[in-house]
Amino acid sequence: MATGIASGSGQLYLREPVYRRNSYGKAQCHSTVNLSGMQNQIHWSSWISKLLQVDRSNYSQCQVKTNRKSHRGTIKSCQREGSTRYFDFAVIGSGIAGLRYALEVAKHGTVAVITKAEPHESNTNYAQGGVSAVLCPKDSVESHMQDTIVAGAYLCDEETVRVVCTEGPERIKELIAMGASFDHGEDGNLHLAREGGHSHRRIVHAADMTGREIGRALLEAVVKDPNIYVFQHHFAIDLLTTQDGSDIVCHGIDTINTETQEVIRFISKVTLLASGGAGHIYPSTTNPPVATGDGMAMAHRAQAVISNMEFVQFHPTALADEGLPIRPSNARENAFLITEAVRGDGGILYNLDMERFMPSYDERAELAPRDVVARSIDDQLKKRGEEYVLLDISHKPTEKILSHFPNIAAECLRYGLDITQQPIPVVPAAHYMCGGVRAGLEGETNVRGLYVAGEVACTGLHGANRLASNSLAEALVFARRAVQPSIDHMNISKIDRSASSWWPLPVAPLLLGDTVLNKVILRTREVRKELQSIMWEYVGIVRSTSRLALAETRIIELELKWERYLFQHGWEPTMVGLEACEMRNLFCCAKLVVSSALSRHESRGLHYTIDFPHVEESKRLPTVIFPSQLNCSWSSRQLHRQQIC
């Protein structure tokens, strides 16, 4: 299954059948394919390579200039001209994918790491569980693959799954060599945890703060690297692209320094999008505030192919503040995650009458994949009219609980809950986007010079549902696999010093004055809550066609109403600000999710609809949204027009 509109800027040839949707309109089936059994997985890694194939020798003279002599075009230091910075590589995002990639490509040129907030503020920092990798003799790559494909509801790309499961262990060893410290057992070997959907213990972890430890090790290495420059509090606005015949070419990124309100342009030979997910399209999410879908939206506006956006993973067990003995005084910006590993270590789910319910939904009980557990909890809450369920680990030895989950224990104790003695109140929350910018096996996209890694990418690994702890492994593997093609592209490219003048420079809305600007910001925050409410009510864990269609209509109406408000108050098309640009990205991602969900006429993995409650083998195809030039509103087009050569 695929959905989208073919861009007028180029032909994207697919071997597989597609559905096309006109600007979030009706889907039309173009052809069918016979797929059956686990062995016939979606081999998109073969046909996506054709779709994303770049003829690197076919460069227009007014695009990136070529220089085939290795490294001669390398920029030896950070160079600037006014508000423009010049780098060999630009990395958008400071999570595990962006930093790991930066450390490798920095051996070949200068690197700008552009991060929205503090460098440590990313989804990586909040990842509690760990990294999945086959490191035990009793385990196998084939077993890890099987677990991944089953959890992904057989929509995974088998070649991608094999790549990640095979290369993951080596990526873990590299982290350890860089100084990352993981938990070890009494035998001196790495302690391997087990999580839902895994048939073996294969989760490498640092207590329940794995992401924080990985981020620490990577950031320390980045700080020491003289070729890497970190630009914190720089919000990415739009990719800088031109059109070369039928190809779109990426030349860097426009940003705004959110502390000084200065617009900074980064011209680069290669750009990596590693900007994370879009959890904040929903009112409750485990994602940090920076996760507003910026990379996905920017890539879509730049005519990159988007895939599988209907598959939004709701983590089954976020801390339910309503059930805590002491309520937090202020509403959280993001829900506190209760890691999958709690259930992996024997945690049991109960309703408020202390009745265990998971065995009645799935024979794997608490160890079922996340989509199953989240729907089961959702069903319990709706049937019983309750706000949360209970996750109990208190039957385990106190010392084991405190050693494995110190962060969770400390957070709960702040609010009067002792997890060694009492069950934890939990509720599902938006957690992970299985879809994103479509990538090949080397992180390449259909936009020349643009690579993706991490949650912003859709590599085919996760299929219809991500297996626990596979995300950090995927980020490490694809960040590393994108390195060589990026270096190759850098070596045949040359920075054109006139490039910065090809696009008009966005401007901060300072001329509006504080009074008007504050009104715009306040209204934007209200609109953001309205959008999140629509998404939770109509595009949540359980869906229906009528409610999805209603969501689509309401989102479009809300977006147009918000845009009118902005322009009535003096906003100009070239103006940029953090709240406004985040809002347009949230609108974009919300529409992509709804459009993709409307196109999938079956229930598979994370996408469950009451109108098509069963899995349909004939529908076992990825959803694809092709580039569109029908970008008539401010929210849905690049702030600058493309340079056409």
Helices (H) and strands (E) in the chain, counts: 15, 23
Point out the catalytic residue in the list 85, 171, 194, 370. Answer: 370
Distance of CA 33 to the CA centre of its chain: 29
What is the rounded distance in angstroms from the CA atom of residue 630 to the CA atom of residue 637? 9
Alpha-carbon distance of 52 to 437, in angstroms, equals 11
Q: Report the residue count for the chain.
A: 645
At 613, give phi and psi (nearest 5°). -75, -5
CA pair distance 481, 97, nearest whole angstrom? 11
**Amino acid at site 58:** N
Give the orientation angle of helix 578-599 with respect to helix 545-568, to 10 degrees: 160
Q: Are 436 and 312 in contact (CB under 8 A)?
A: no
Whether 370 is catalytic is yes
318 strand-pairing partners: 337, 427
For residue 436, give the nearest of 452, 447, 448, 416 by alpha carbon: 452
Please give the structure tokens belonging to residue 551.
């969501």
Question: Dihedral, CA atoms, 557, 613, 344, 385, nearest 10 degrees?
Answer: 70
Tell me the C-alpha distance between 45 and 48, whole Å. 5
CA of residue 526 relative to chain centroid, distance: 24
- According to DSSP, residue 609 is labeled B
- Report the alpha-carbon distance of residue 605 to residue 154 in Å, rounded: 9
β-partners of residue 114 are 92, 231
Q: Token pair of 131, please? A: 């990294």
Report CA-CA distances (Å) from 88 to 265, 410, 502: 14, 44, 18
Between CA 301 and CA 641 the distance in angstroms is 11
Element (H, E) at 247: strand 247-257
Question: Which tokens is 248 given?
Answer: 């779109």
Residue 9 is encoded by which pair of tokens? 């800027």
Nearest to 234 by CA among 333, 93, 89: 93
Catalytic residues: 370
